[in-house]
Structure 1
Amino acid sequence: MLLRAPSGASINTTQALSPAEIPRQASIRYLPVNLFASVMGLSGLALAWRQAGHQFGTSALIDAAIGSLAVVVFAVLCIAYAAKAVLHPCAVHNEFRHPIAGNFFGTITIAVLLISSVVAPLSARASEIIWGIGAASTVALSFTIVSRMLRGKVDAGHSVPAWLIPGVATLDITVAGGTLPMAWAREVNLFAMAVGTTMALVFFTMIMSRLIHHHEKLASDMVPSMMILIAPFEVGFLAYTSFFQRIDTFAAMLFYFGLFVFFSLVFKIFKRSIPFAAGWWALSFPLAALSNAALRYAEHARYLPVTVLAVALLVFLSVLIAVLLVRTIHLVASGKLLAPK
C-alpha cells in the first residue's frame, strides 16, 4: 500500500513483500482503515437528528434510519477489514505501524463508542457492553500510540491533524458514557477526560506549529483531514456537558472556539481542485461533533441566531454525508476504492 507523507511523497507500506507478491489489481489489501470514519459520520448524524427530534419534534424515523445504516456499514467494514487482516496481515501491520495512518485505527474505536449511543434506545444493556468494549480498546490504542511516540525520533513533518484522533477517541469515551449508571463508569469517564484532554491539547499545539512553520504544505489528499482540528473542542464540549450535565461558561468557550476554527478552515478545504477519496470522510465526524454541540448549546442558550446556526449546521452535515455516501458508492462500483494507490 502506498500512503502519502505530508510532503506529498509516497510511502510504501508493503515493503515487506517482494514485487512479485504485490498485486496490481483491486484487492481487499487496499481497503483503507480511515473508511471507518464513515461510521463515525453516520452515527454522529443519527445522534444529531435525535437531538433535533428532542428540540424541534422531528420524526424519530430519521435518526432510526440513519442509525440503522451506520450499524450496517460498521458491520460490513468490520467483516471486510477482518478479511484483510486474515488474508494480508502484513498490510494491516504496516498500516498500523505507519506514523500517520496508524492514528486512523482510532476511527474504529470511536465508531464502536458511537454505535453504543446509537443502539441505546433499543437496549441499555447492549449499549453498556458495546461502550465497555469501545472504552477498553480506545485506552489500549491511546497507550500504544503515546508509547510509540515517546520512543523519540519522531519526524516533525508527520505532525498532522490525524494525530488528534486517539485523543479525541479517548474523549469520546465520556461523550458516549458520561451518564451510564455503573459506579465504576464515573472513574473511567474521569480518566478518559483527563487523558483525552491532555493528549488533544499537546498534539493540537504540535500540529498547529507544524502547519504554521513547516515549509512543506500538506499533500492535497490530506487537506480534508484539517477539519479534525475542530474535534478536540467540540468533542470536549460534548464530553464535559455529558459528564457534568450542565453547560457553563467553560463549555461555551469550547464550543465557540471550535466554531471559530471551523469558519477558519471551511474555505480552505472545500475546493474543486482536491480529488475525492476515502479520506474525505475525515470531514464527517468533526462536523458531526460540531452539529451535535451546536444543537445542545442552542437548547441551553435559547437565542435565535444560535438556533438558526445549529439548524444550518445540521442541514449542512446531512447534505455533506449524503454526497460522501454517493461518491463512495461510485468509488466502490468503479473498483477505485480497492485499487492500488
Structure 2
Amino acid sequence: MNTAYNPTVAAAQPVTASKTSIKNLPINLFGSVMGLAGLGLAWRLSGQYYGVGGTLGEAIGVLAGLVFVLLALGYLTKWINHPEAVRAEFDHPITSNFFGTVAIAVLLLSAVAGPHNEWLGQALWILGSALTVLLAGLVVSRLLSGPQDSSNAVPAWLIPGVATLDIALTGAHMPMAWAAEFNLFALAVGAVLALVFFTRIFSRLVHETPLAKGMVPSLMVLVAPFEVGFLAYTNVFGEIDRFASVLFYFGLFLFVVLSVKVFRRDVPFAPSWWAISFPIAALSNAALKYAHAQDSTVLTVIAAAILLFLTVALTVLLVKTLISLFSGKLLAN
C-alpha cells in the first residue's frame, strides 16, 4: 500500500476547527486564585516584617478576588449550560480532586479580606471550611468504596487533604467560641490525610510509570503538605518549635529536588501549570515567617529569593493564561 503524502487528498479532507466554549473551562484553573492569594499574603508578610511590599500584597489580593469572581461566574455558567461536563469532571478519579482548589481559594480569600472587613473574612472562612470538610469527606468515601487504579495515585490526591490544613492556616484567629476546636479537628484530619496520601503517591512515583508530561507541574503539590502544615501548626499552637522546623526544612528540600523535574522546557504551557503556584506560595509564606522568627540573615535571603521567584513565575503564568484566553486556545476543545 502506498502511504506517501498526497496533497490532493489532504486538501479534499475536511478540517475540523476547534470550538471555543465555556464548556471547556477547566476546574483546575481555580488554582490561579490560590497562587495569587498566596502571593498577596506573602507580600503582606514582607511588608509587616521588613516594610517592603505591603501595598503590592494588598493589590495582588484584590486581583485574586477579582479572578475568583470571574472564574466562579464562568464555572457557574458552565454548570448551568453544560451540567454533564461538570459531572464528568467531578466523577473523574483525578480531575475531581481539583474541586478542592475552589474551597482553598475561598479560605485564602478570607485571610486576604479579613484585615479589611472582619465580617467578610469570617463569612468566607465559614463557607470555605464547610466546603472543604464536605469535599474531603466525599473524596475519602470514594476512595474507600472499592479497589482503585494505582495509576490514579497522583499529587492531585493531596489537594482535598491539604485543603483541611488550610482551615487551620486561615482560621487560627477566628473569634467564634467553636473555632479553636474546629481548627484542631481540621489540623488532625489534614495532617493524617496528607501523610497517608503522600506515602501512597510517593510509592506510585517510585515504583510505577512516570507521570504524563501534562501532569508534571503537579509534582510541586508534594511540597504543600509540609509548608501548609508548618503554617497551620504554628498558627494553631502559636510557636515555632523543632517539629515546625522539621516541616519547613523538608518542604524546602522537596522544592529544590522537584524544581529540577518540574521546570523543564519540554513541558508545554497548560492550565495545569497553575498547580505550582500555591505550593510555592505556601513555601514563601513559611520561609518569611521562619526567617523572621529565627532572625537569620541566610534564611531571610532564602525567603526573599523564593518570594521573588514566586512573583516572576506567577507573572509569567498570568500572562500566558491571558494570551491563551484571548487567542481562543484556553477554552477550545
TM-score (norm 1): 0.92
Aligned equivalents of 1:253, 1:235: Cα separation in 2: 13
* Partner secondary structure for residue 113 of structure 1: helix
Partner of 1:278: 271
- Which of 283, 289, 304 lines up with 1:311 in the alignment? 304
* Partner secondary structure for residue 320 of structure 1: helix
Aligned equivalents of 1:96, 1:242: Cα separation in 2: 32
Is residue 83 of structure 2 the alignment partner of residue 89 of structure 1? yes
Alignment coverage as a number of residue pairs: 317
Question: Following superposition, which runs of at least 4 residues in structure 1 exceed 3 angstroms of deviation?
Answer: none
Aligned equivalents of 2:258, 2:92: Cα separation in 1: 26
Partner of 1:41: 35
**Cα deviations by residue, 1:105-136 (Å, 9 ceiling, x for unpaired):** 00000000000000011111110111000000
Aligned equivalents of 1:205, 1:152: Cα separation in 2: 19
Partner of 1:332: 325
**Cα deviations by residue, 1:176-228 (Å, 9 ceiling, x for unpaired):** 001112110011101100100111000000000000000x2100010000000
* Partner secondary structure for residue 183 of structure 1: coil
| Pair 59,230 (structure 1): closer, same or farther in 2 beyond 3 Å | closer
Partner of 2:227: 234
One-letter identity of the residue aligned with 1:123: N
Q: CA deviation at 1:64?
A: 1.3
- Which of 130, 146, 151 lines up with 2:145 in the alignment? 151
Partner of 1:249: 242
**Cα deviations by residue, 1:152-190 (Å, 9 ceiling, x for unpaired):** 121001000000000000000000001112110011101
Partner of 1:289: 282
* Partner secondary structure for residue 271 of structure 1: coil
Is residue 201 of structure 2 the alignment partner of residue 207 of structure 1? yes
Partner of 1:8: none
Is residue 271 of structure 2 the alignment partner of residue 299 of structure 1? no
Aligned equivalents of 1:123, 1:172: Cα separation in 2: 20
Two-structure CA RMSD over aligned residues (Å): 0.9
Aligned equivalents of 1:308, 1:319: Cα separation in 2: 17
| Pair 86,302 (structure 1): closer, same or farther in 2 beyond 3 Å | same
One-letter identity of the residue aligned with 1:52: S
* Partner secondary structure for residue 44 of structure 1: helix
Aligned equivalents of 1:127, 1:309: Cα separation in 2: 31
One-letter identity of the residue aligned with 2:279: P
Q: Is the 2:46–2:54 Cα contact (8 Å) retained in structure 1?
A: no
Larger radius of gyration: 2
Aligned equivalents of 1:269, 1:60: Cα separation in 2: 30
Aligned equivalents of 1:97, 1:149: Cα separation in 2: 12
Structure 2 gaps, min length 5: 1-16
Structure 1 gaps, min length 5: 1-22
Q: Is the 2:284–2:303 Cα contact (8 Å) retained in structure 1?
A: yes
Aligned equivalents of 2:270, 2:327: Cα separation in 1: 13
Q: Is the 2:166–2:228 Cα contact (8 Å) retained in structure 1?
A: yes
Residues 89-98 or 50-59, more deviating: 50-59
Task: Give me the identity figure in percent.
Answer: 56
Partner of 1:170: 164
One-letter identity of the residue aligned with 1:207: I
Q: CA deviation at 1:59?
A: 4.2
TM-score (norm 2): 0.94
